[in-house]
Amino acid sequence: MLAPSRADAHNGAAAADAVRLIQVRGGLGAVPGLRLAGVHAGIKKRKSDLALIALPGPHVCAQVITTNEIKAAPLLVTSANLATDGDDIVAIVCNSGCANACTGERGIRDAQTTARHAAALLGVRPAQVVVASTGVIGVTMPMDRLAKGLDRAFKALEEGPEAANDAAEAIMTTDHVPKLAAYAWHEDGKRHVIGGIAKGSGMIAPNMATMLAFIATDAAVSRASLTEALREAADGTFNMISVDGDMSTNDAVYACAKPGPQNATPGLRAALASVCRDLAVGMVEDGEGATKTLTFHVSGARDTQQARAIARAVINSSLVKTALYGEDPNWGRIVAAAGAAGAQMDPETWSLYLGSHLWVERGAIEAMSEAEAHHVLEEQTVEARLDLGIGDATATAWGCDLTGDYVRINAHYRT
């Protein structure tokens, strides 16, 4: 994870200049009053596969979901629930091992039944429950096991970092490690906390992927302002990562906050962006089969849209990913991917940097030997920067290498 001192490098930069963010442990477990559980319901053979998150009272809930035209049943049911009770959400249920995607009317009924069961346990309305799933597409949910698992999860609800870690492990699929992030900040004389958990390791591409993230804060904000702040944060974090360039049917980010009439404060925006960034980078670091990560900066762009388009194109390139894996100093692949973005790059003004070293100057002059570049690429974490030389806008994207292990994992995902 990136340190708090990097918070002002991305979304929420201006806010982070005015508000000091304090990185805290525990993810969602750092949020006061929030209870969590992660249990084995039997959807997967051995590992935990069901998480229940109980919020301390009704919360407003914002969402950012996949742009895939094929959306899983839980996304459709939750969107309907948020349209009805988006200002009064009290719980989140997430299972792994079964995506409940492409399962027709049965899938919708199963997602609705999940919400009803959780609501009955908590004494609330079904529309006050967010449901999410991740796993294999085209498989129906074993509802008898899920129901019994929910009963166990309800009895196991606890506050704190350990419970948050249990919940984070329960939503994992091919992930190797749970992903948690939390920050505290002081604003207007009060201390606030925001925390999150996430899963994601493969089918990760710009504009969301097979990832899920659940975020909550004890700060108060209107739902409309929280939605706007979440979209802004996601654009600079979750939508700027790539493991393999594929997009799933189930990905979503849900952010919950205490209800209030006020807009998101600078502190909340900065802390939300930092939690999203840490969770997003954690997915790249845990990419399926990955051995290296690439942080790719674009500077000197005409505007943020151009900078982000080029950064995403580079970290999403299979040729760039395989060159990273092979430690091959083939800068032509980076430039070709940048130009293919169709973002009106000037072919004569760009310069490329590898780490702190000038690699190619003004589109033609190679300033770094192949041996020097190869030495930098031997590191596990690599940074590169493309300066477009035409403006002042910047963007950062995060990716990883593409390896034989990735092929092995996904060639036998079901078998």
pLDDT digits (tens, 9 = 90+) for 29-80: 999 999 999 999 999 999 999 999 999 999 999 999 988 889 999 999 999 9
Candidates 78, 174, 210, 249; catalytic one: 210
Question: Does residue 6 sit within a domain?
Answer: no
Cα–Cα distances (Å) from 47 to 89, 97, 161, 169, 178, in that order, read 28, 10, 19, 9, 13
pLDDT at 286: 82
Residue 344 lies in a domain: yes
CATH number at residue 79: 3.60.70.12
Q: Classify residue 5: in a domain, yes or no.
A: no
| 139 and 185 assigned to the same domain | yes
Q: Are residues 271 and 298 in the same domain?
A: no
386 in a structural domain: yes
What total of structural domains would you count in the chain?
A: 2
> 395 — alpha (psi -120 to 50), left (phi > 0) or beta?
beta
Burial environment of residue 190 by CB neighbours within 10 A (0 to 12, 13 to 18, 19 or more): exposed
Pull the structure tokens for residue 30: 């750092």
Residue 137 is encoded by which pair of tokens? 């597409």
Q: Which H or E run includes 218?
A: strand 212-221
In a domain, 2, yes or no: no
Sequence-distant (6+) residues with CB within 8 A of 126 are 81, 112, 115, 116, 118, 119
Answer yes or no: do 107 and 227 share one domain. Answer: yes
Give residue 391's identity as a one-letter amino acid code.
G
Contact 225, 259 (CB under 8 A): no
3-state SS string for 297-334: EEEEECCHHHHHHHHHHHHCCHHHHHHHHHCCCCHHHH
Of the residues 238, 269, 285, the one at which a domain ends: 285
pLDDT bracket for residue 126 (50, 70, 90): very high
Tell me: do 267 and 312 sit in the same domain.
Answer: no
**Domain match, 168 and 264 both:** yes
- CA dist 359 and 163 (Å) reads 47
Domain co-membership, 33 together with 115: yes
Same domain, 111 and 216: yes
| The domain boundary residue, chosen from 249, 266, 285 | 285
Same domain as 262, residue 117: yes
pTM (predicted TM-score): 0.89
Q: Could you tell me the CATH number of the domain that includes residue 338?
A: 3.10.20.340
Distance CA 230, CA 236 (A): 10
Q: What is the mean pLDDT of residues 106-130?
A: 98
The amino acid occupying position 406 is: Y
Q: How many whole angstroms separate alpha carbon 126 and alpha carbon 398?
A: 38
Residue 207 lies in a domain: yes
Strand, coil or helix: 66: coil
Same domain, 245 and 333: no
Residue with tokens 């840490």: 278
Q: How far apart are the first and last CA of the chain?
A: 32
Domain C-terminal end among 285, 308, 328 = 285
Closest CA to 111 of 157, 138, 78, 84: 78
Residue 168 lies in a domain: yes
What is the percent of the chain with per-residue pLDDT over 90, rounded to a whole number? Answer: 78
Q: For residue 64, which of 184, 226, 274 has the smallest C-alpha distance?
A: 226
C-alpha span between 181 and 167 (Å, rounded)? 13
> What pLDDT digit, counting tens, does each position of 179-196 carry?
999 999 999 899 999 999
Q: Which helix or strand (DSSP H or E) is residue 385 part of?
A: strand 381-387
Is pLDDT at 27 greater than 80 in this prediction? Answer: yes
pLDDT at residue 2 is higher than 50: no
**Does the annotation count 210 as an active-site position?**
yes
279, 307: one domain = no
- Ranges 112-126, 241-255, 312-326, 398-412: which has the least confidence: 398-412
Quick one: 155 and 186 in the same domain? yes
- Average pLDDT estimate for 284-291: 78
In a domain, 113, yes or no: yes
Q: What is the domain range of residue 169?
A: 17-285
Banded pLDDT at 408 (limits 50, 70, 90): low
The answer to whether residues 393 and 257 belong to one domain is: no
